[in-house]
Amino acid sequence: MHKLNILQYNNMQNFHIRDELKLNILSDNIEYLNLEKEFLGKYNFSRLNTFSFCKAGFLDLLIQLNKKGKIAISVGETQSLVEAGKEFEELGFKLTWINLQKDGTLNIKDISNIKIDFAFISSYVMDTFVKINLEEIKSLSKAKIISNASAAIDRTSDAIYFDCYKLTGFSFDGVILFDDELFDEKSIGFTNPIAVDLIYEALKNQIFEETSKKLFEENLKEVLKDDIYFFVDNKLTLPYSLHFALKGIKARELIRTLALDNIHITNGEGCSLGLSKPSQIIQAMGYDETTSRNSISFSFDRKYTKEEVEIIVKKLAKKYRQIKVLNEGK
């Protein structure tokens, strides 16, 4: 099996719910407290909350922050957060959106021209994995930066959160780490110890591999020639990710047929969540929905040999051309 979609969906194996992590107000909960302490210590934060990783969960975070200051959200963030931001505005609250440029990079001017107190900006853009320089953001704004750290962690962030589904394949709560009183403290009854344990275990075992990217990119260009193109410059993306597009097909057609050969790829969040939606990120860059369906993302957690890469690309190219011919005949 070739899992080339690990940043969007990582199927965690041998998952075990530990009975000793049960929380009880009448006990010392020592096992859970030790787990929480270790988790916080690893990333140098002092507080931990779990929250529902969906529109409602992020909306709750936004409402908490709204009491303390002005908020901005990058349109390159996770789909649930973007949906929460839109709902937040519909409820009558004010919010600033930080846009993406046509090349997939964050529009820094959107930050330098506004006064905000909190900014949801990660060190990478979802789907394309274009890197964002958070130190540069800090130099332009005094806002506290809250980041998705599921695919990359930047110590510049003032708070980081993790997507359980992307890290494990299980849809438990997300975990957010922060300092001081950035978010409301939760009681034991509203803490999800299974999510904390599962996410921390996934992070400890998380592996990325950086040499395969160049091999795949070169081979794809050589085999697919004019049929391949790029929405973003892959020199600007995470070193263990590769983003490209194929002309004349919907990515989901290729995703489904390659899965039969145990080659797993993705178009983006909407694809991996089973929503059959094309990448919202590509659309946020200024492309239409039809074009966004051409988008494909690879990510790497192991080293691929030249021979393996050639076999995978050959299969991909064969399936792609078959699909393209069938589509042209419709």
> Is 1 or 41 the better-scoring residue by pLDDT?
41
CATH number for position 24: 3.40.640.10
pLDDT band at 161 (very low <50, low <70, confident <90, very high): very high
Q: Are residues 34 and 128 in the same domain?
A: yes
Domain that holds residue 220: 208-328
Q: Are residues 214 and 317 in the same domain?
A: yes
On whether residue 4 sits in a domain, the answer given is no
On whether residue 177 sits in a domain, the answer given is yes
On whether residue 9 sits in a domain, the answer given is no
Residue ending a domain, choose from 204, 227, 254: 204
Residue ending a domain, choose from 168, 185, 204: 204
Residue ending a domain, choose from 185, 204, 223: 204
Q: Is residue 105 within 8 Å of residue 233, measured between CB atoms?
A: no
Q: Are residues 156 and 236 in the same domain?
A: no
pLDDT tens, position by position, 257-298: 999 999 999 998 876 655 567 899 999 999 999 999 999 999
Q: Are residues 190 and 214 in the same domain?
A: no
- Lowest mean pLDDT segment, chosen from 147-156, 184-193, 244-253, 274-283: 274-283
Q: Is residue 1 within 8 Å of residue 304, measured between CB atoms?
A: no
Q: How far is CA 299 from CA 4, 84, 96, in A?
A: 5, 27, 31
Q: Are residues 254 and 275 in the same domain?
A: yes
Q: Are residues 217 and 154 in the same domain?
A: no
Spatial CB neighbours of 36, under 8 Å, sequence gap ≥ 6: 48, 196
Distance from chain centroid for Cα 72: 18
Q: Is residue 244 within 8 Å of residue 317, measured between CB atoms?
A: no
Q: Are residues 100 and 221 in the same domain?
A: no
Instruction: Give mean pLDDT, residues 320-327.
Output: 91
Domain count, the chain: 2
